[in-house]
Chains A and B, each alone.
Chain A
């Protein structure tokens, strides 16, 4: 029922020291380098925390959304929408991307953990 990776979400690897960043930083936190190469956020991650949010900002035609923060094996942590039936701390989730905000020409593709 969900759009397959129609736009990946990327992490950023410092080309000087390999430190990983997400989201993008202009300066590497480890070596102050300024060059990065992209790598897709993908695969399995661990659910660190989650919430079910009822009052959504303007533009959402839903009564609620689930959100989570996950940790990847490489140390990257990221927030995303969450689509699992009963979230539990520490559970494994899969990285997908899909439509996270509908706005006509302003549609946003982002991280959805399933």
Chain B
């Protein structure tokens, strides 16, 4: 199999997009092409475009968007497909791009993740995201992702002694990191006391789905991110040194969360990470920086255990000790995470990849992990029923 690396990255400012869907997606794509020194003219050398999106069809009422992107970006006659795997669409598309290159079907693949959520009301957005759930056993009851996360949070709190203050600590850490990330959606840091201890905390930080509060949940964001993948054997075409994709893992779990054997486990996270470690020949100790899918803050804590950074039930203790902060044992979500950077569903896995590439290139100004060589990311779909993990490594 051919080795694959990343030679270009692009990322829009997450938040409320000022442009339409296609223009937003193209902004990220063009930044990645510029970063890789690719001019979109005849002979551009881009073999394939993959677009990761969960909602373009349902929310933006556009289908076959990858084909539209290829034309407007002047990348014809590149192959094009749209990839939909819920909130894990982004890392899924990177996995598929990797496979196309490794198999010899393509030398270069431009992966774009783009989602425009804020054109619909909050209610419509919540309902759209909830369509991932089991139609009869979950969705029809009125269940939503925050409701599942609330029930999961209560179980983890009850089993391992995680507190509301622990979640607030993760919130403050991730918002602090986002201050140094110019593309983050929210760039202000909540006061730990005000959101977790103050007598007015119910007003400042109201419950969304008990025991989950507002500051435990990611915002609704528009945004796009892009990466250019290439075979390492053609990497000399591009000015920047490739960041190698060293490991990929993916696993699925039961559709309904009620059917999970151990309801506090995120089995698909554990299995996806195990595969990515095996493929890369690396272990959790080798990882210098990680982006973990913190759509709900409890997920960052449990994922940090499932990927092997900490023992079961000790992820929240690591947060208290600052082990996951910048300068700690394993900095997590230096970008601000989904919590503060934002979570435009299909863009998220690509955005996480962009952050890890920046860290490994040494381009993460203000939030740089010293001498980062290897990074892990976890992109979490459904409520953990489809998870993709990637390990990236700086070339020696």
Contact = CB atoms under 8 A, between A and B. Distances in A.
Interface of A: 22-24, 48-60, 65, 67-69, 77-81, 89, 100-101, 108, 110-111
B146 A53 contact: yes
Contacts of A69: 151, 257-258, 263
Contacts of A89: 154, 158
Contacts of B206: 54
Nearest to A112: B141
B141 A23 contact: no
A54 B207 contact: yes
A23 B256 contact: yes
Q: Which of A23, A55, A59, A79 has the most CB of B within 10 A?
A: A79
Nearest to A70: B258
Contacts of A68: 151
B interface, over-half SS: helix
A interface, over-half SS: strand
Given A54-B206, A55-B208, A67-B147, A81 B152 contact: no
B141 A58 contact: no
Interface string B100-140: 00000000000000000000001110110010001011101
Contact of A101 (B142, B155, B212): B142
A79 B138 contact: yes
A24 B257 CA distance: 14
Interface string B199-215: 00000001111111000
28 contacts: A23-B136, A23-B256, A48-B155, A49-B151, A49-B152, A51-B147, A51-B151, A51-B154, A51-B211, A52-B207, A55-B146, A56-B123, A56-B142, A57-B126, A57-B144, A58-B123, A58-B124, A60-B142, A68-B151, A77-B259, A79-B138, A79-B141, A79-B257, A79-B258, A100-B140, A100-B141, A108-B141, A110-B140
Interface string B258-293: 110001000000000000000000000000000000
Contacts of B209: 51-55
B147 A58 contact: no
A49 to B, nearest CB: 4
A71 to B, nearest CB: 9
A46 to B, nearest CB: 12
Interface in B190-206: 206
Size range of the interface on B? 35 or more
A69 B153 CA distance: 13
Contact of A22 (B137, B147, B150): B137
Interface of B: 122-124, 126-127, 130, 134, 136-138, 140-144, 146-147, 150-152, 154-155, 158, 206-212, 256-259, 263
Contacts of B256: 23, 79
A52 B143 contact: no
Contacts of B124: 58
- Please list the 10 inter-chain residue pairs (A to B) with the smallest Cβ-Cβ separation, ordered nearest first: A51-B150, A23-B137, A57-B127, A77-B258, A49-B151, A52-B210, A53-B147, A51-B209, A53-B209, A58-B123
Contacts of A56: 123, 126, 142, 144
Contacts of B147: 51, 53, 67
Contacts of B212: 51
Given A22-B259, A24-B136, A55-B208, 7 more contacts: A48-B263, A49-B263, A56-B123, A57-B126, A69-B151, A69-B257, A110-B140
A58 B127 contact: yes
Contacts of A53: 142-144, 146-147, 150, 208-209
A101 B146 CA distance: 18
Contacts of B130: 57
A55 B122 contact: yes
Contact of B141 (A54, A55, A81): A81
Given A50-B151, A55-B122, A67 B143 contact: yes
B151 A111 contact: no
Contact of A67 (B127, B141, B158, B259): B141
Contacts of B151: 49-51, 67-69
A100 to B, nearest CB: 5
A65 B210 CA distance: 11
Contacts of B141: 67, 79-81, 100-101, 108, 110-111
Nearest to B138: A79
A52 B138 CA distance: 15
Given A69-B263, A100-B142, A101-B140, A57 B152 contact: no
